[in-house]
Structure 1
Amino acid sequence: MTKHKNMSAQGPSQRQLRAGELIRHALVDIMAREEFRDPALQGVSVTIGEVRTSPDLKHATIFCSPLVGSQDADGVADALNRASAFIRGKLGRVIDMKFTPQLRFLADKSYDDANAMERLLDNVAEREGFHDEDE
């Protein structure tokens, strides 16, 4: 039996999932309470969809998007990356982990992808003559 498992084939461990949720909940609280000096973050509500941690829990990738769809998701992620040291300091005071992970913010495109798929399915349903029972 090998000592190290191939994590990419099996997915994240239960420990990684628990740590990711702990970090996500703490980040939501931090984002709601803190005022950021960066103009790209002032007055912006940020949604954190998922946090993925590395197997050693020293790195965390945070998928985020602005709550209002009119704002640039990539710009918000870049601004959060600039503020990541500040956010990491706040996070270290809130979570109870041996190490506070390095934070990397990425724009969460999953909501846009889901909306695009829904539009495609609606177009197919309309073209094929399917109708909702409720209408």
Structure 2
Amino acid sequence: MSIRANRVAEQIKKEMGELIGQKLKDPRIGFVTVTDVDVTGDLQQAKVYITVFGDDKEKQDTLVGLAKANGFLRSEIGRRIRLRKTPEITFEFDEAYEYGNRIERILRDLNE
């Protein structure tokens, strides 16, 4: 990823965290943490990785709520970052945290 794409990704991560936490009032959206953002080199696509506190149903409800708010989030990101063309945004669960927690649990169990 280019330096510019990296900077744009970091800016989107910061702004997206603020927007989801403060501006979205959808009751389906639970406690969301934006963990990472990947932006393509041409700045046309942005993949936002999130973790959601709760069970599988709450996670799926959150994904549906974020998909519904995608237009609003994209326009807000475009307004705040001022790019010529705002990237298309997709949301995905960040499996790395759960994977890391699972490994940590296994290691803890082995030590006991």
> Stretches of 4+ moved more than 6 A in 1?
none
Match of 1:69 in 2: 54
The 5 A counterparts of 1:50-65 are: 50-65=36-51
Segments of 5+ residues of structure 1 without an aligned counterpart are: 1-11, 127-135
Contact 1:74 1:107 in 2 (8 A): no
**TM-score (normalised: structure 1):** 0.73
Match of 1:30 in 2: 19
Structure of greater Rg: 1
Percentage of matched positions with identical amino acids: 28
Higher strand share: 2
Q: Deviations over 1:3-49 (max 9, x none)?
A: xxxxxxxxx2222221110100111121222133x4312xx331000
Counterpart secondary structure, 2:48? strand
Contact 1:20 1:53 in 2 (8 A): yes
Q: Within 1, Cα distance between the matches of 2:76 and 2:43?
A: 17
**TM-score (normalised: structure 2):** 0.86
Report the aligned-residue RMSD. Answer: 1.7
> Aligned pairs, how many?
111
Q: Indicate the structure whose relative CO is greater, using CA pairs within 8 Å and at least 6 residues apart.
A: 2
Higher helix share: 2
